[in-house]
């Protein structure tokens, strides 16, 4: 082979190597950024202001959204998420009440879990942190952070509905299903620290696609309870969630109809008597001489 041919081959190999390296770096960056928040538009900010000024709403507070923190993909922007939250929430708590305090902690924890490495979280007690759902053995510490909140809270679900997902693919699955957002709202605090128990609602319009099924633009809801243990510094130690994820995932795949998820009826009941279609028995008559 001539020196010219060898030079061409070497150059080609270098180009291929550099190309592979760039692709690899890009894929790693993408994998590490499952939940990046896009900058909002003026229209979004104007509508947020409308809700605040007209209805007295308060934006969810997430402490320490500080650009100097070591965010995986830059500080997140929650304008779009908060607008969906305003449009769909069913309760309006006082900005200085216990519900607002607990919701701030939960939303800040979720932000850190999605956008920071475990060692950089400020909302948890790193030595005792664990998270699980429905009595399944919880994930702990770094392992919980590595798996991600979706996988931690879907542990124990029927494997035909959820299995083999990574941190990145789990976020991608729900981002594709709900491209306009998947808001979460605390409903009611039932007991205060150190073991905080509360009810919650998670909802979205299915306007994307899930496992090959196109969205139907219907409302999909999840309801449940959570018990969060905190220490004296209000750092999260344990998170236990109780809900019915199988039902939600089956609905996303086409059955049952999402109407059965409405208002948490499958957990809390419909509020109607179980035998309301039965004839009402007549009261016995008294016999008097």
Q: Taking a C-beta distance cutoff of 8 angstroms, is the pair 128, 236 a contact?
A: no
**Within 10 Å of residue 56's Cβ, how many Cβ atoms?**
10
Predicted local distance difference test score (pLDDT) of residue 5 = 47
C-alpha to C-alpha distance for 142 and 127, rounded to whole angstroms: 10
The reported pLDDT for the residue numbered 32 is 44
**C-alpha count within 13 angstroms, C-beta hemisphere, residue 249:** 18
Domains of the chain: 102-268 (3.10.450.50)
What is the chain's pLDDT, residue by residue, as a tens digit (289 residues)? 555 445 544 544 543 433 333 333 333 333 345 555 556 789 999 999 999 999 999 988 885 578 889 999 888 989 999 999 999 999 999 888 999 999 999 999 999 999 999 999 999 999 999 999 999 999 999 999 999 999 999 999 999 999 999 999 999 999 999 999 999 999 999 999 999 999 999 999 999 999 999 999 999 999 999 999 999 999 999 999 999 999 999 999 999 999 999 988 888 887 888 786 655 555 555 555 4
Nearest to 249, CA basis, from 224, 216, 223, 222: 222
pLDDT at 284: 55
Q: What gap in Å lies between CA 153 and CA 241, rounded to an integer?
A: 7
Q: Which positions ≥6 away from 15 have C-beta within 8 Å? A: none
Query: Per DSSP, what are the bridge partners of residue 184?
Result: 202
Mean pLDDT estimate for the chain? 85
Six token digits for residue 224: 């449940």
Query: What pLDDT does 264 receive?
Result: 87
Reported as a single tens digit per residue, the pLDDT across 216-250 is 999 999 999 999 999 999 999 999 999 999 999 99
Q: Residue 127 burial (CB < 10 Å; 0-12/13-18/19+)?
A: exposed
DSSP β-ladder status, 236-243 and 130-133? parallel
Percent of the chain with pLDDT over 90: 68
pTM score of the predicted model: 0.81
């Amino acid at each position: 082979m001539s020196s010219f041919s060898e030079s061409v081959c070497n150059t080609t190999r270098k180009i291929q190597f550099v190309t592979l390296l760039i692709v690899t770096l890009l894929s790693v960056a993408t994998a590490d950024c499952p939940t990046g928040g896009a900058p909002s538009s003026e229209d979004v900010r104007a509508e947020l202001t409308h809700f605040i000024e007209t209805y007295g709403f308060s934006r969810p507070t997430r402490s320490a959204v500080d650009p100097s923190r070591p965010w995986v993909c830059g500080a997140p922007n929650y304008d779009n998420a908060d607008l969906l939250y305003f449009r769909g929430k069913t309760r309006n708590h006082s900005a200085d009440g216990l519900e607002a305090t607990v919701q701030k902690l939960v939303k800040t924890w979720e932000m850190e879990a999605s956008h920071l490495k475990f060692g950089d979280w400020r909302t948890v007690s790193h030595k005792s942190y664990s998270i699980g759902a429905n009595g399944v053995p919880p994930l702990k510490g770094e392992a919980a952070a590595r798996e991600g909140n979706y996988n931690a809270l879907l542990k124990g679900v029927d494997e035909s509905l959820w299995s083999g997902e990574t941190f990145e693919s789990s976020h991608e699955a729900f981002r594709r299903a709900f491209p306009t957002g998947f808001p979460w709202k605390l409903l009611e605090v039932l007991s205060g620290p150190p073991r905080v128990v509360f009810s919650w609602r998670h909802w979205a319009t299915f306007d994307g696609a899930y496992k090959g099924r196109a969205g139907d633009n219907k409302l999909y809801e999840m309801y449940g309870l959570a018990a969060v243990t905190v220490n004296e510094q209000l750092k999260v130690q344990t998170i236990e969630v109780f809900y019915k994820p199988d039902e939600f995932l089956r609905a996303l795949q086409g059955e049952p109809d999402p109407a059965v998820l409405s208002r948490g009826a499958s957990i809390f009941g419909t509020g109607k008597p179980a035998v309301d279609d039965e004839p009402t028995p007549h009261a016995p008559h008294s016999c008097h001489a």
